[in-house]
Amino acid sequence: MVKDKFISQGVIEVVISIEGMICADCREKVENIVKKLDGILDVRADCRKGEVCVKAEKGKVTIDDLMATINQSGYKTAISQVKII
């Protein structure tokens, strides 16, 4: 099962609010830049909610790395939720 794989690897799930992500092109841009980071397992951006949900291998990427990467693309970010799954 995929969920078991995530648990055994130590996965962190982060929901980040993104100011300025308002359209499908923005959503795709955010997903693509985050996917380039090491340790990313899944990225799902939602322009209607203005947030991105990222699942990453614990210890491979930091929340600061995620936010800095998104900020460098012209968006403002804030942490909404963090879970270790």
Question: For the sheet containing 40-46, what is the strand order?
Answer: 40-46, 51-57, 11-19, 76-84
Number of domains in the chain: 1
Q: 23: alpha, beta or left, given left = phi > 0 and alpha = psi -120 to 50?
A: beta
pTM above 0.85, yes or no: no
- Reported as a single tens digit per residue, the pLDDT across 27-61 is 999 999 999 999 999 999 999 999 999 999 988 88
Question: CATH no. for residue 68?
Answer: 3.30.70.100
Report the candidate in 81, 78, 42, 46 with the shortest Cα–Cα distance to residue 61: 42
Domain interval for residue 56:
2-84
Return d(Cα 36, Cα 28) in angstroms, integer.
13
What's the chain's average pLDDT?
88
The CA-based angle 57-49-62, given to 5 degrees, is 25
